[in-house]
């Protein structure tokens, strides 16, 4: 117990001696690195971790923004990064009391271009414009790959998912019209599209037309495309390239005639067949995106048709697999109208 006052005295002397020494200041970023703009005033040790964060947020390496001379402003991406850093800080200062809430990762999420639409499977695949890809030639190749489309319609049976329920499907298609009966655990659901009006009839209920603003999306979700003529017409289409699962694609994109939205159609470069459609529909807050993948093509009466369609939307994914497709020489157009 007699040692306690001595220990206190020694500790006090050590503390006072340390306090009397000048503090070793860590160098600032601009003192250690050349041409520092965004991190001026920050500690030098903060710079490289911040660089690593930006790299991870965009899934890029240093060379995306920098040349071999790291101080150079030659690359446009470096200038953009400075603007983005300033924007991030401004947002956090104005809306979050300076706390780091909104970051590069918030918008980029692992992509060089921010994803400004809901998270939909496949939305990260974006076409790159190419003047060498001529839309008319791509669509003509699609027509040759599909084959003879003179059949008036198709009767299709299969299995799928409708509003979260597994169902058995029986449907008839003719051009851009269709009628579908889905046999589910809760009874039959009927839905159809006559080329202008979409309608829906729940189990045991009467058919009613769908609102005009959701009709185009409803029609696209249920459509089976059978050649260029069945695709929505595009205004001022452009050509591009992309890859889906390491497969080279030729892409035709443009605004949809008569609508506010845009569409992109991805065609397998080898087969010429439609592999994916992407539809973007603007809202007052942003655009909704729907992606449809077409696989397992089968030749039916001289026509190549997809027997598996996977729909990707912001709320759910769904799969339709067709077990039987047969051509119909004649289809009564009245069957596509809402039943009375």
Q: For residue 61, give both structure tokens.
A: 């390496």
Beta carbons of 158 and 205 less than 8 angstroms apart: no
- State the pLDDT at residue 67: 93
Average pLDDT over residues 244-255: 96
Give the closest residue to 120 by CA, choosing from 281, 322, 240: 281
Listed as own residue / partner, the contacts of 131-135 with beta carbons closer than 8 Å and 24 or more positions apart are 131/239, 132/239, 133/239, 133/240, 133/241, 133/250, 133/251, 133/252, 134/239, 135/234, 135/237, 135/238, 135/239, 135/252, 135/254
3-state secondary structure (DSSP) of residue 75: coil
- State the pLDDT at residue 20: 42
| CA distance between the termini of the chain | 100
- State the pLDDT at residue 127: 93
- E-strand spans in the chain? 128-129, 153-162, 165-174, 177-184, 187-193, 198-201, 208-209, 234-244, 247-256, 262-268, 274-282, 287-300, 303-312, 317-328
- State the pLDDT at residue 23: 53
CA distance 312 to 122: 8
- State the pLDDT at residue 24: 63
CA distance 176 to 173: 7
* Residue of 263 and 313 predicted with greater confidence: 263
Average pLDDT over residues 52-59: 84
- State the pLDDT at residue 11: 39
Residue 78, beta-bridge partner list? none
| pLDDT above 70: percentage of residues in the chain | 93
- State the pLDDT at residue 232: 92
pLDDT tens-digit series, residues 203-218: 988 999 998 888 888 8
CA distance 259 to 95: 36
Average pLDDT over residues 75-100: 92
Give the number of other Cβ atoms within 10 Å of residue 250's Cβ: 26
* Residue of 35 and 5 predicted with greater confidence: 35
DSSP single-letter state for residue 61: -
- State the pLDDT at residue 79: 92
pLDDT tens-digit series, residues 288-322: 899 999 999 999 999 999 999 999 987 778 899 99
pLDDT tens-digit series, residues 93-151: 999 999 988 889 888 888 888 877 777 888 888 899 999 999 999 999 999 999 988 87
pLDDT tens-digit series, residues 167-211: 899 999 998 899 999 998 888 999 999 999 999 999 988 999 998
CA 70 from centroid of its chain's CA atoms: 33
* Residue of 55 and 234 predicted with greater confidence: 234
Quick check: 21 pLDDT over 70?
A: no
- State the pLDDT at residue 338: 85
Average pLDDT over residues 18-43: 79
- State the pLDDT at residue 15: 36
Average pLDDT over residues 264-285: 94
DSSP single-letter state for residue 230: G
């Amino acid at each position: 117990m007699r040692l306690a006052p001595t220990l206190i005295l020694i500790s006090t002397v050590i503390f006072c001696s340390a306090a009397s020494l000048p503090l070793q200041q860590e160098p600032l970023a601009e003192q250690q690195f050349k041409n520092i703009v965004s991190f001026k005033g920050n500690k030098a040790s903060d710079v490289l971790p911040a660089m690593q964060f930006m790299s991870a947020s965009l899934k890029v390496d240093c060379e995306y923004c920098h040349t071999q001379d790291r101080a150079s402003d030659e690359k446009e991406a470096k200038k953009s990064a400075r603007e983005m850093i300033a924007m991030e800080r401004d947002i956090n200062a104005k809306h979050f009391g300076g706390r780091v809430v909104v970051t590069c990762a918030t918008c980029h999420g692992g992509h060089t271009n921010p994803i400004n639409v809901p998270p939909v499977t496949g939305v990260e695949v974006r076409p790159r414009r190419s003047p060498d890809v001529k839309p008319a030639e791509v669509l003509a190749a699609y027509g040759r790959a599909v084959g003879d489309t003179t059949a008036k319609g198709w009767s299709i049976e299969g299995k799928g998912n409708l509003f979260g329920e597994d169902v058995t499907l029986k449907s008839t298609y003719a051009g851009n019209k269709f009628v579908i009966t889905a046999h589910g655990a809760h009874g039959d659901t009927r839905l159809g599209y006559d080329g202008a009006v979409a309608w829906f009839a729940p189990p045991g209920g009467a058919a009613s037309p769908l609102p005009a603003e959701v009709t185009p999306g409803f029609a696209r979700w249920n459509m089976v495309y059978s050649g260029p003529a069945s695709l929505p017409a595009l205004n001022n289409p452009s050509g591009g390239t992309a890859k889906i699962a390491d497969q080279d694609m030729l892409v035709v994109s443009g605004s949809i005639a008569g609508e506010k939205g845009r569409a992109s159609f991805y065609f397998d470069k080898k087969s010429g067949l439609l592999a994916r459609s992407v539809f973007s529909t603007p809202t007052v807050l942003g655009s909704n995106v729907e992606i449809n993948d077409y696989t397992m093509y089968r030749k039916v009466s001289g026509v190549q048709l997809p027997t598996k369609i996977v729909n990707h939307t912001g709320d759910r994914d769904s799969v339709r697999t067709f077990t039987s497709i047969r051509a119909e020489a004649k289809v009564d157009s009245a069957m596509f109208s809402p039943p009375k």
